[in-house]
Amino acid sequence: MRAGIALAVALLAAGGAAPATAAGPDDVIVTVPGPGGSPGTDGTIANAQLRWGLNAEAGGGAFAGGCNFLSAGRAGDAGGSRVWTQNDGLYRAEDGRVRIEKPTASGGWTAATWDSKCRDASGAPVTVASASSTSGNQVVIDGGTGQRRDGTTEIGWSGSFTVVFYGGMTYWSVTDPKLTLDGVGNGRLVGTASGYGTSMDDLTSWNPVAPREVVLAEIRSADAAADRGFTVTPEYRGVAVEGAGQVARSAANAAFWGSFPQSFVDFHRLTGQQGYWLTSGGIRDAAKPATAITVSFDAATPVVPPAPEGTGAATATAVPSNPLRAAPAAVDPTVPARAFFAANAPLTTQPQGSALVPAARGGIPAVVGPLLGSAAALGVGIVAVLSMMRALPWQRRRPGADVAETAVA
């Protein structure tokens, strides 16, 4: 019997098969897993893949600068809040094991480029007019290492990527993301965040933000026991945070109301981007919920990611353009006030004053002054005409006044 056990153990450890003879009553069957375990079991992970687009807004149209997009690597210092150019060398589609991919019209994936970064899967330019209009770009990082043990999962990736908004006017980076999950698939994705801070109120402000670890995504019920990997949508809908300008939940925003994790939005108090990562009351709120994360335990046989939502419907020949809407230089006094305000209403507002987005301000709107001035001028004109006609109340003669004047004379 001992000889039989030794032979079975030796063959299984070497990757061989046990003899094809029936087990005797005294035989003991021993199963020895290969080095690192097999897919779906505990063991070492040597080449995991992380794929994520953060949210639709990270690939959507911007109110200035063309669009928001992802870039591989940790972007250097642009020297100030400005739109990137291709010659800056700040944008990269690939950096080491990090690359940026975009969905294609046929359902596949292709490498992003400088020229394609502001276009959706059909080739049409993304636009702020629709929350579903997005490039669908995702960061893909290979080479993740870690282990699965007693049902828990730990994987870390080396590399960085940059999240660019307003064409480069504000951006930040994530370095060395790490995933931890417990036995039921609950956990989080963390990373070291860094970047530069600026403000819509003062674009000359440009301050480096010291690196800090933040929670990128809170994860619940991921299928970490799957053989090849899993796809899971991080927590966002229904998440409340404090001190970040999140508006109250209502019937109008209930379908997408929420926020990225607290430490995430706290970090963006320094970058000026808080309004992009929670429900702020703007017309782009529906594009802010976190999108699905896909983790593959072996990058050589990755899990097929779901197609990003929203592909746009504009023609592919159009040029990306998302101009800011400014107040008119002059006010036509013949235009009714109701029509004027309807035509010049702001496209969006953000309650966070330090964000790089038009802030919702209190007080009298700037257009009210010119309108009041026009109304006052019209009133003066009417009084002047009535005076020339001697039709003003104090210019009218009392009954019998002419008779009295004749008698006096």
343-392 confidence digits (pLDDT tens): 444 333 333 444 454 443 344 444 445 555 566 666 666 766 566 666 66
Provide the 10 A C-beta neighbour count for residue 117.
24
Which residues, 6+ apart, have CB-to-CB distance to 287 below 8 Å? 55, 56, 57, 60, 131, 132, 134
pLDDT at 203: 77
pLDDT at 35: 38
C-alpha 94/C-alpha 73 separation (Å) is 7
User: With contact defined as beta carbons under 8 Å apart, do 160 and 175 qualify?
Assistant: yes
Which residues, 6+ apart, have CB-to-CB distance to 379 below 8 Å? none
Q: Structure tokens of 107?
A: 């359902």
pLDDT confidence bin for 309, thresholds 50/70/90: low
pLDDT at 377: 62
pLDDT at 42: 77
Q: Tell me the average pLDDT across 130-153.
A: 95
Q: Tell me the average pLDDT across 296-322.
A: 66
pLDDT at 310: 55
pLDDT confidence bin for 5, thresholds 50/70/90: very low
pLDDT at 200: 72
pLDDT confidence bin for 204, thresholds 50/70/90: confident
pLDDT at 77: 96
Q: Tell me the average pLDDT across 85-108.
A: 96
* Range with the poorest average pLDDT among 156-165, 267-276, 329-338: 329-338
Question: Could you write out the DSSP letters of every residue in 264-312?
Answer: HHHHHHHHT-GGGSB--SSTTGGG-SBPPEEEESBTTSPPPPPPPS---
Share the mean pLDDT of the chain. Answer: 79
Q: Tell me the average pLDDT across 280-308.
A: 95
Q: Tell me the average pLDDT across 193-214.
A: 90
Does residue 102 surpass a pLDDT of 60?
yes
Q: Tell me the average pLDDT across 274-288.
A: 95
Q: Tell me the average pLDDT across 309-317.
A: 43
